[in-house]
Structure 1
Amino acid sequence: MDLISRRKVYVAVTSDGIVGTASLDGRVVRTVFVSPSNQRQGIGRKLMEAVERVARDEGVNVLSVPSSVTAEAFYTGLGYIAKSDSYHGDERSIIMARELV
């Protein structure tokens, strides 16, 4: 419950129910997910637009996102650049960032 109270959480809803989520935790995007059956429909892009808009309004100049290997191309397409790698055991995350202008 502590995480949800400090993050701004966004959901994408269709007639099927909740199909996607994203959240903003200060200067970091977290929990971006779109159900596999709803991917490649612009839902992830819309969620990221909402997160970026709020981050800008809050004065964030650079937004970062820890990306999975499979999501790297998605974030690259949104203008994020890989900055470093982070490992939790064998799991690799790519820390990506984008300037908000």
Structure 2
Amino acid sequence: MHYQVRPAVVADAQRISQVILAALLASNARDYPASVIERVRQSFTAAGVEQLMQRRRMFVALADGVLVGTASLDANAVRTMFVEPSWHSRGVGRQLMAVLQQAARDAGESVLVVPASITAEGFYTRLGFRTVREQLDGEERTLIMEQAL
């Protein structure tokens, strides 16, 4: 299926927050303790998402006009890549990543970096990313992955 991917606008912030929170609770909560999920959750309120829009190039994926995924690009780093759980494994994330990859290329980047949750490691590996190191912040383990563009 083909999804419409477009830049996020402030009016999307509430729905982006909902998608992120749903994905955190449905997917990431299996791999991280509740304290980590709660800390991350607090960063992605609608107001928090609006603040991120000021600093990053944020995109949304729509299926029949409904926002089902989001991802952002901060220079050459992929950030806030989340898909509504009921839309997992339908190509939403893959299409969002294709848009981010092209945006990074257009900006002259030669490498795309993603600080990936352990939950998302398989997804990024299937897209051709490789783990270059691990980062531990308290109980939160993040994989720093890279892909040449």
TM bin, normalised by shorter chain, reads over 0.9
How far does the alpha carbon of each residue in 1:46-96 deviate from its partner, in whole angstroms, 9 at most, with x for none? 000000000000000011001111110100000000000111211100000
How far does the alpha carbon of each residue in 1:18-42 deviate from its partner, in whole angstroms, 9 at most, with x for none? 1100000001000000011000000
Select the structure that is richer in helix: 2
Report the count of equivalent residues: 100
- Structure 1 stretches of 4+ with a deviation exceeding 6 A read none
User: RMSD of the alignment, in Å?
Assistant: 1.2
Cα distance in 2, alignment partners of residues 28 and 16 from structure 1: 27
Counterpart of 2:115 (choices 44, 58, 66) is 66
Cα distance in 1, alignment partners of residues 60 and 51 from structure 2: 18
TM-score (norm 2): 0.64
Cα distance in 1, alignment partners of residues 108 and 66 from structure 2: 32
- Aligned equivalent of 1:28: 77
Establish whether residue 86 from structure 1 lines up as the match of residue 135 from structure 2.
yes
Displacement of 1:5 in angstroms is 1.4
Cα distance in 2, alignment partners of residues 59 and 5 from structure 1: 21
- Aligned equivalent of 1:3: 52
Cα distance in 1, alignment partners of residues 99 and 106 from structure 2: 11
- Aligned equivalent of 1:12: 61
Determine helix, strand or coil for the equivalent of 1:83: strand
Select the structure that is richer in strand: 1
Percent identity between the two aligned chains: 47
Of residues 42-51 and 2-11 in structure 1, the stretch that sits farther from structure 2 once superposed is: 2-11
Segments of 5+ residues of structure 1 without an aligned counterpart are none
Segments of 5+ residues of structure 2 without an aligned counterpart are 1-49
Cα distance in 1, alignment partners of residues 79 and 108 from structure 2: 18
Cα distance in 2, alignment partners of residues 2 and 37 from structure 1: 27
Displacement of 1:15 in angstroms is 3.3
